[in-house]
Amino acid sequence: MTTVLTYGTFDLFHIGHLRLLERLGAMGDRLIVGVSTDEFNAGKGKSTVVPYDDRAAIVGAIKGVDLVLPEQSWEQKRLDIVEHGVDVFVMGDDWAGKFDDLADLCRVEYLPRTKGISTTGLKEMLRVLDPNHVEEMQDALRVVSRLLDHYRDLT
């Protein structure tokens, strides 16, 4: 039996996350996913839109995911690998080389990321709906409207 392990934030769960989990599911018989807790993210200076319990529930509902555990520290990977008898540790290639030190415990692999989609990109799009941003846009439109009125008066 081959056990596969990965970790991630999985905020605003998107097609890149799904494709990664699908590929990981096909790499073994059992897939374990460590989902980073809100406290761990805060330590990394990262905040999520979706809270831990919801992110963990979404990841746990994906076909092929057998177990979700909380990722609470950088050091826990070694303990999790031993405790769960992990054969392959896999991350997307934005982490290429970063976890090679685990190779004394199991196989370490990095898969290509899905192109054209990211949580950062989605957050950028959502920013348009931010009340402060909407206010800025309204101010800008007011200026343009005044300029148009002015131009009309001149002609």
Q: Which stretch binds ligand C2G (CB under 6 A): 7-15, 61-69, 130-138, 146-154?
A: 7-15
Give me 57's structure tokens. Answer: 């529930």
Residue 31 sits in the site that holds ligand C2G (CB under 6 A): no
In whole angstroms, give the CA distance from residue 85 to residue 4.
9
Q: How many residues bind ligand C2G, per CB under 6 A? A: 18
* Residue in this structure with the two tokens 């330590």, named with its chain if needed: 43
- Residue 134 neighbours by CB under 8 Å, 6+ apart: 128
Candidate list 59, 91, 106, 108; residue touching ligand C2G; CB under 6 A: 91
User: CA separation (Å) from 6 to 69, 78, 127?
Assistant: 10, 12, 29
- Residue 76 neighbours by CB under 8 Å, 6+ apart: 34
Candidate list 102, 105, 117, 122; residue touching ligand C2G; CB under 6 A: 117
Residue 86 sits in the site that holds ligand C2G (CB under 6 A): no
Q: Which stretch binds ligand C2G (CB under 6 A): 11-19, 59-67, 100-108, 131-139?
A: 11-19
**Least distance CB 86 / ligand C2G (angstroms):** 14
DSSP structure string for 34-64: EEEPHHHHHHTT---SS-HHHHHHHHHTSTT
Residue 118 sits in the site that holds ligand C2G (CB under 6 A): yes
**77 classed as catalytic:** no
**63 classed as catalytic:** no
Q: What are phi and psi of 151, to 5 degrees?
A: -60, -40
Binding site for ligand C2G (CB under 6 A): 7-11, 16-17, 20, 36, 71, 91-92, 94, 113-114, 117-119
Q: Give catalytic residue positions.
A: 44, 46
